[in-house]
Amino acid sequence: MGIYDRDYYRPARPTPVYSSFRPQSVVIALIVVNVAVWLVDGLFFSGTLRNYMAVHVSALDGPRASEDTLRHPWMWWQLLTAGFAHAAEFQHVLFNMLVLFFLGRDVEERYGSKEFLRLYLVMVVFASAVWAAINEISPPSPNDVYSMVGASGAISGIVVLYALNFPRRTLLLFFVIPMPAWVAGALFVLLDMFGAVANQESNVAFSAHLAGAAFAFIYFQRQWSLTRLTEGRFRWLRSPFRRKSRLKVHKPEEEVESDMTKEVDRLLEKISREGEASLTAKERRILETASREYQRRGKGGRR
């Protein structure tokens, strides 16, 4: 019997709405943060908090050049915070959070909470950086500043990832028109492309939308794992004086088998909790080795 035949390894089932409110849901946490920032800004700061968190582009030699985000590395934190602030109009934050709620839950279930959070934050930063870089090419007049806020770049990426992972599921476009997810995703991207070309004076950051969508597409095609990429990057912080023991202890075969079973159980629980993408290369090799061993026994091996 292989590992994946075990009783407690089952394919993930669609998550019911009520389970999305579990404390570990990254989607719900992101929605709470975005809505809270929008409410606090509107009730107590009258837009100044939003302006502080936004990404800014200004003329190189203008009096407001110090506000430009990209040209001042100490302001690069705005590339992230801009994704958690929204315009004063309620429909801006409402639309983004509705899409995140209805599509983001299944994407989080697919990749695991840790990977989903990393992916969301990277798409926010990437979309903000692309928008700022494009607008640096044609900056505003010396006395003016371009500013951008909103989670739309990351939300566009979520739409694309949903369409790629669940292409045959039915979505209601504008909550009315039913269509396959892949059609809705393609239409979503095409509308942004048309808007970027035809509505250059619009206050919608189409370039940020397209940047988030492009990152999501490449992420899916290349099968990246941001969790594996970042794990182990800080091993240099461990004490250089720590040495591995050279003493080798012989373990009875039954004890070795018990240790392998415990490790397999731990890894399967990790898959159930965080998604298969959370596994490191070493952990994948452990599962593959154990699976071959279980299959060998099932075909007439020992026991």
Note whether 255 and 214 are same-domain residues. Answer: no
With a cut of 90, say whether residue 256 has pLDDT above it: no
With a cut of 50, say whether residue 261 has pLDDT above it: yes
Note whether 211 and 259 are same-domain residues. Answer: no
Query: Considering the domain boundaries, does residue 238 fall inside one?
Result: no
Please state, rounded to an integer, the average pLDDT across all residues of the chain: 83
Note whether 177 and 280 are same-domain residues. Answer: no
pLDDT at 127: 98
Q: Give the three-state DSSP class for 232.
A: coil
Confidence category of residue 276, pLDDT binned at 50, 70, 90: confident
- Residues in Cβ contact with 131 at an 8 Å cutoff, skipping those fewer than 6 apart: 55, 148, 153, 205, 207, 208, 211
Query: Considering the domain boundaries, does residue 41 fall inside one?
Result: yes
What's the pLDDT tens digit per position in 223-252?
Answer: 999 998 887 665 554 444 455 545 554 555
Note whether 152 and 293 are same-domain residues. Answer: no
pLDDT at 13: 44
Count of domains forming the chain = 2
Note whether 163 and 254 are same-domain residues. Answer: no
Note whether 68 and 115 are same-domain residues. Answer: yes
What's the pLDDT tens digit per position in 3-30?
Answer: 444 443 444 444 444 444 444 699 999 9
What CATH number is associated with residue 171? 1.20.1540.10
Note whether 62 and 102 are same-domain residues. Answer: yes
What's the pLDDT tens digit per position in 101-139?
Answer: 999 999 999 999 999 999 999 999 999 999 999 999 988
Closest CA to 96 of 18, 182, 155, 21: 155
With a cut of 60, say whether residue 282 has pLDDT above it: yes
Note whether 269 and 145 are same-domain residues. Answer: no
What's the pLDDT tens digit per position in 158-210?
Answer: 999 999 999 999 998 777 889 999 999 999 999 999 998 887 777 899 999 99
Write b or e for each residue in 197-229: b if 16 or more Cβ atoms lie within 10 A of its Cβ, otherwise e.
eeeeeeeebbbbbbbbbbbbbebeeeebbbbbe
Lowest mean pLDDT among 2-6, 163-167, 265-269, 271-275: 2-6
Mean pLDDT throughout 283-298?
A: 76
Give me the domain span that covers residue 283.
250-303
What is the pTM assigned to this prediction?
0.73
Query: Considering the domain boundaries, does residue 242 fall inside one?
Result: no
